[in-house]
Amino acid sequence: MTSSALAAAAAERAQNIRQRADRPSQRRSSEQAGARASVRTRLSGVQLRESGDGGGTLEFVGHASVYEASYEMWDMFGPYTEIVSEGAGADSLARADLDVPLVLGHDQLRRLARTSTGSLFLTEDANGLSVRAPALDPADHDVAYIAPKLKAGLIDEMSFAFRIESGQWSPDYTEYRINRYDIHRGDVAIVGYGANPHTGASMRQPAAEPTGRARALLELGIARA
C-alpha cells in the first residue's frame, strides 16, 4: 500500500467511525470488493513427517497465524494494517466444545483433521496460533494431494478463519489490533499465498534416525524482521 492511500483511508475512517473499538466494516484481504477476509502467514516451524506411531500416518505441525506482526488489510475506506495480539485466541481455544477443522484453501469439504474428533490440536505459543495434526492418513485423497507439495516447498503458507470479538483502532486510524477472536466453527487452512511480510521459509532433509528408518521432514522457519 502507498503512504498516500493509507493516509487518505485513515482520514475517511476518522470522520466516519464513531469509536476506536468499532470493528472494520467490509473487512477483506485485498482491494477488490467482496474479497474474503482471511489472515495469512507462511507456515512457521512446520513439519510434515512420519508420525512414528507405526501405522504409516503423517504428522503436520505449523502456525496458522503469527501474533504481533502487522499485515495489510482493507475495509470500506481503504487500506490499513492489522495485528493479532498475543493471547487473542485464549478464551476461544479453551472451549470444551471447540470445533475447528484443518482444511485446504478454506474449503470446508476438504478437511484433513478436526478438533472435535481429537485429530487436531490448537494452542497458542510464543509465535502465534500453533496447529498440530498428529496422525494424518496418507491414503486420504486430500492428504495425498497436499503432502508432496508441502515437501517440495510448492505450498508453504497457512491462514485461519475467525470472528473478531474485540479490537481497537490506533489513534490515527491506520492500524487495527485484534485483542480477542473466536475461532469456534472457523478453520485453519493450508493456502497458496500469504500477506504477512515478516515471515520467510527454509527447507531441509534430516539424516535418518537411529532406528534406521528415514523420515521426510519439511521445516519452514519464521524469519523475524
Q: Which of 39, 181, 62, 84 is nearest to 131 (CA)?
A: 62
Q: Alpha-carbon distance 46 to 38, whole Å?
A: 20
Contact in structure between 84 and 34 (CB atoms under 8 Å): no
The C-alpha cell 473487512 sits at 27
The residues that bridge with 32 in the sheet, in sequence order, are: none
C-alpha cell at 91: 478464551
The C-alpha cell 478463519 sits at 161
Task: State CA 140 to chain mean position distance.
Answer: 23
Average pLDDT per consecutive 10 residues, the chain (225 residues; last block may be shorter): 91 96 91 75 63 79 92 94 97 98 95 98 95 94 93 87 96 97 96 50 33 31 30
DSSP state of 91: H
For residue range 97-151, what is the model confidence (pLDDT) as tens digits?
Answer: 999 999 999 999 999 999 999 999 999 999 999 999 999 999 999 999 999 998 8
Domain boundary assignment for the chain: 3-191
| Burial category of 126 from C-beta neighbours within 10 Å (exposed 0-12, middle 13-18, buried 19 and up) | exposed
Residue 179 is which amino acid?
A: N
